[in-house]
Chains A and B, each alone.
Chain A
Amino acid sequence: MAYILISDDSVAMRQMLKAALLVEDHQVVEADDGLVALSLAKTHLFDLVITDVNMPMLDGLSLVRELRSLTDYQFKPILVLTTESDPDKKKLAKAAGATGWLVKPFDPDKLLAAVKKVLG
């Protein structure tokens, strides 16, 4: 069981992520924007952060950069959800410091596999 923060402005997406993660008994905290996620991350130590790219106030890549600057999240896995599969976007995610990415849409199984890949 891991303590996971998900950050996405779409309620449906968060619900879906949560539903999938709950199957594996993970504990999930939701944030509807990068800014919210950042403040949550500062007060709670999550094992994994999953974030969307496009969010109204603080976008996902900026969130990753902000998190990486925090000592607590220097080595923590951060997954970025993206709908764009072109290599440039992935490079951007990587450059920001993301551990990996998931291209939306994905199956719950794929999500769990990715989570397993970073959490062991």
Chain B
Amino acid sequence: MTEVRQLFFEESFENLDMMESSLLDLEIGAVDKELINTIFRAAHSIKGGAGIFKFEHVINFAHTVETLLDELRNDQHIVTQHLIDLLLRGVDTLRALLKALQTGQEYNPEAVLVCQQEFTALLITPMSPPPEHAHPHPENTHAPVTAPEVIPVGWHIRFKPYPRLLQTGNDPINLFRALDALGELQICADSSQLPTFADLDFQNCYLSWDLLLTGAVEQTAITEIFEWVEGDCDLEMIPLDKESLAETRIVMDKALEASLAKLAKVPEKIISPAPSETPVNPKLSSIPIVNEVLEKPAHNEHLSSHINEASSIRVGIDKIDALINIVGELVITQSMLDQVGEDFNLARLEQLRSGLAQLERNTRELQESVMRIRMLPISYSFNRFPRLVHDLSTQLGKKVEIKLSGEQTELDKTVLEKMSDPLVHLVRNALDHGIEMPEQRRAAGKPETGILKLHAFHQGGNIMIQISDDGAGFNLERIQQKAIDKGLLHPDENPTVEQLYEFIFHPGFSTAQQVSDLSGRGVGMDVVRRNIRDLGGTIEIKSEIGKGSRFSIRLPLTLAILDGQLVRVGNRIYILSLLSIIESLRIQPNLLSVLAGKAEVYRVRDEYIPILRLYALFNIIPSTTQLEQGILVIVEGEGQKIGLFVDELLSQQQIVIKSLETNYKQIHGISGATILGDGSVALILDVAGLIRQFYSSNRVHTFSELSVGAMT
């Protein structure tokens, strides 16, 4: 059931997304039946699914939403902005409710109630609690003592089906079996209407029955059994007391004898459904409140134990097919190699080689396909923005149109999840600070409606995400002034544009003149950049005053595999991400300087790069301590460069990253580990971490201090 539960949540969230995007597509004033139907179906599915798990408040709320949609569908409302907004809020509330259930957290019942009341206020149909799933009161079904009506000791049921009854798929015998489960049942068939064989239409029902049910059975229980044949038969239910029961029994017995005598064989089968051979139906009178009370706490336990449920991923069937295909090829290659190995001689060397080459290709393809499973289209993240932009622009009184492109670009699931918040932040910023108020835009000769573009695409092994707006752009002067005010910049300094943009990422830096509800608190851009960097990505700003700005985020395709450069220090092998390496060179002693007898720097063109001797850091006996005998690998992390001194450069290869944290513990300067071809474990160096550690241990705070020192 856990899986079904998980499935329900996934499906419901998808449905909510669909509702949301369809709601945003609705046009005010018009009633797009198709679209409303889609929304209705989604709400309906959520309600139906919620019932499986007895999420009463979800059912209840979804029912209210659904009722409004139904009215909309039946032309009882026109689409207004207010209606759309309310429905959108309904979607939010449902999402919150489901999220709370999924994570086992509390939800805010007042907020739900307030929202629900707003819905109810709009409804034309009076709202009764959603029927049927509101469990019947126990008094009605289970505590007959308190019921005002007297329960008879038996029932005489006259059941006269119309000829068409059989065509509904209902079979009287099944109804009788259900009745039999309620009490002792005596059946007497009336075959008087049976035509001669020649006139008999096998599609019709010609029999009718007199049934005697003995036992304290409520009328509702019987009605329920005949519920589906209502309108397809004449049904009479006569409650019996002790006397009339005895009388009826005698009458029925006689009738039975008579009809038995008349039709010796046919009815016999029907007459004797001995109670013992009929499987006893579980009581139809639904398992009510008692059960529910018992279940509730257990249900909660169930909830909490699944808070840490592994997240799942939906994979397109084509990806799975590709995988299966490759596995098939792998099997073929394996059997081919098997054959070669069976009686190997040198003449078959070529065959072995080609087999191995094929194996290599298969392995690579397999790897790629498996990686692709983790990839999700960025639309998962982009799709929430139309809604966000709709809400924010309404709130801010701005007119904004959002344009999405490249939504099908695929990203690693983890990257996608971690990018979610930064993207939201950037979009908010663009709306809040970037795009101007309609009047301002008109005054600047721009169309009133601003355009916000989200664009994703592949670029050289990376994913690029661009968020651009045609708004005011960054006011560099104001940034400079602010930086000076904050003491981050000396008034005499003449910073470059890049340096000024850099201030935007400074914690607590905001140029918004007024702190708004949305942004401008200056908490954020630094977090945005940190998140992106944690993913091994970068962010760049381009802006033109009055024309707009563009944030470009560059992200690695996947986190699980990296292109690595193997380096040797002593007898250890370490791995550097190829992306972090700027260049590797042999040291020329004349370009080397030593600062204060401690820090070594190396001049590369006009830059001074501090040197970190890896062997010293890791306490390894190296092949050489002479700088000119080893290799200097210049790497960059968080905008700073450092030269790593190693013994030797080895090969470059794709590295599957294994987390050190989950297998051992976190170590500064190491981002993970991998297993090399020979089975040995190699550590992957975290360049940014090494640089941070280097500067803190050398008490040299900034790179500029170093280079200034070196030049003097």
Contact = CB atoms under 8 A, between A and B. Distances in A.
A117 B48 contact: no
Interface stretch (B51-59, B146-154, B243-251): B51-59
Interface-centre pick from A85, A119, A120 (highest chain B CB count, 10 A): A120
A118 B177 CA distance: 10
A10 interface: yes
Contacts of A106: 51, 133
Contacts of A11: 7, 11
Interface stretch (B162-170, B381-389, B458-466, B643-651): B162-170
A20 to B, nearest CB: 9
A103 B171 CA distance: 21
B203 A74 contact: yes
A11 B40 CA distance: 17
Contact of A15 (B3, B177, B225): B3
B40 A54 contact: yes
B160 interface: no
B517 interface: no
A103 B133 contact: yes
Given A10-B45, A12-B52, A19-B1, A109 B167 contact: no
Nearest to A19: B4
Contact of A12 (B8, B40, B171, B282): B8
A3 to B, nearest CB: 15
A42 interface: no
Nearest to B3: A15
Contacts of A113: 281-282, 284
Interface in A70-120: 74-78, 81, 83, 85-86, 91, 94, 97-101, 103-107, 109-110, 112-113, 116-120
Contacts of A85: 131-132
A105 B167 contact: no
A97 B282 contact: no
Contact of B51 (A15, A75, A105): A105
A91 B11 CA distance: 30
A105 B166 contact: no
B4 A118 contact: no
A13 interface: yes
Contact of B227 (A77, A100, A112): A100
Given A113-B281, A117-B174, A99 B44 contact: no
Given A11-B11, A85-B131, A103-B133, A120 B177 contact: yes
B50 A75 contact: no
B37 to A, nearest CB: 8
A83 B175 contact: no
A68 B168 CA distance: 9
Which interface class (under 10, 10 to 19, 20 to 34, 35 or more) fits A?
A: 35 or more
B133 A110 contact: no
A76 B171 CA distance: 10
Nearest to B225: A117
A107 B228 contact: no
A82 B105 CA distance: 30
Interface in B28-73: 40-41, 44-45, 47-52, 54, 59, 63, 66
B44 A78 contact: no
A120 B171 contact: yes
Contact of A104 (B51, B168, B225, B284): B51
A15 B44 contact: no
B45 A117 contact: no
B170 A16 contact: no
Interface string A29-57: 00000000000000000000000101110
Contacts of A19: 1, 4
Contact of A105 (B12, B41, B54, B175): B54
Interface string B220-243: 000001011001100000000000
Given A109-B282, A117-B178, A120-B177, A15 B7 contact: yes
Interface string B557-581: 0000000000000000000000000
Contacts, number: 123
Contacts of B166: 75
Contacts of B281: 113, 116-117
A112 B279 CA distance: 13
Nearest to B1: A19
Interface in A15-32: 15-16, 19
Main secondary structure of the interface of B (DSSP, over half): helix
Which interface class (under 10, 10 to 19, 20 to 34, 35 or more) fits B?
A: 35 or more
Contacts of A10: 11, 45, 48-49
B261 interface: no
A110 B286 contact: yes
Contacts of A104: 47-48, 51, 133
Contacts of B282: 109, 112-113
B52 A16 contact: yes
A118 to B, nearest CB: 6
A67 B597 CA distance: 92
Interface in B274-325: 279, 281-282, 284, 286-287
B7 A118 contact: no
B145 interface: no
B173 interface: yes
A76 B169 contact: yes
A1 to B, nearest CB: 13
Contacts of B169: 75-78, 97-100, 118
Interface-centre pick from A52, A101, A117, A120 (highest chain B CB count, 10 A): A117
A64 to B, nearest CB: 10
Given A78-B169, A99-B170, A56 B47 contact: no
Contacts of A107: 286-287
A12 B63 CA distance: 18
Interface-centre pick from A78, A97, A104, A112 (highest chain B CB count, 10 A): A104
Nearest to B164: A97
A120 B176 CA distance: 10
Interface-centre pick from B7, B54, B231, B279 (highest chain A CB count, 10 A): B7
A11 B279 CA distance: 31
A35 B41 CA distance: 17
Interface-centre pick from A54, A83, A104, A109 (highest chain B CB count, 10 A): A83
B489 to A, nearest CB: 57
Interface in B165-209: 166-171, 173-175, 177-178, 203
A83 B67 CA distance: 11
A62 to B, nearest CB: 14
B131 to A, nearest CB: 4
B170 A118 contact: yes
29 contacts: A9-B41, A10-B45, A11-B7, A12-B12, A16-B49, A16-B52, A54-B41, A54-B45, A74-B203, A75-B166, A75-B169, A77-B171, A81-B48, A85-B132, A94-B168, A94-B232, A99-B168, A100-B228, A101-B228, A103-B133, A105-B48, A109-B282, A109-B287, A113-B281, A117-B175, A117-B178, A117-B228, A120-B173, A120-B177
Interface of A: 9-13, 15-16, 19, 52, 54-56, 68, 74-78, 81, 83, 85-86, 91, 94, 97-101, 103-107, 109-110, 112-113, 116-120
5 smallest A-B Cβ distances: which pairs? A105-B51, A99-B169, A100-B228, A12-B8, A77-B169
Given A75-B167, A110-B284, A116-B281, 20 more contacts: A10-B48, A11-B11, A12-B52, A54-B41, A56-B41, A75-B169, A77-B169, A78-B169, A83-B51, A94-B168, A97-B167, A98-B168, A100-B228, A103-B131, A104-B133, A105-B48, A105-B52, A105-B54, A109-B287, A117-B225
